[in-house]
Amino acid sequence: MLSASKIHLAAGLKVSGLGLRQAELDFHISRMVAISGISSIEVGLGYVGSIKIKIPVRTRPPQKCENGRAR
């Protein structure tokens, strides 16, 4: 009888340990879902910003004349 209660107690501890691991896994999954949603929004905004940006055309700097003024 003592052996049966020992096995029952060990099985109960394993089940409660699995419940704890399940809760921990659910916590990490919910955090990852939240972070992935925020990061997808940031990536979308960055992509739209990189498409809409206008890159300035490089011009030559003004050349100086003999009297020190720009032409």
Question: What's the pTM?
Answer: 0.53
Hey, what are 2's tokens? 């003592």
Who wins on pLDDT, 27 or 5? 27
pLDDT tens for each residue of 21-59: 999 999 999 999 999 999 999 999 999 888 887 777 777
The confidence score (pLDDT) of residue 1 equals 80
CA 24 – CA 19 distance, rounded (Å): 9
The DSSP line for 39-64 is HHHHHHHHHHHHHH--PPPP-PPPPB
The confidence score (pLDDT) of residue 71 equals 53
70 pLDDT above the threshold of 70:
no
Q: Which residue has the tokens 């399940």?
A: 22
Please name the helix (run of DSSP H) or strand (run of DSSP E) that holds residue 23, with its range, or none: helix 2-52
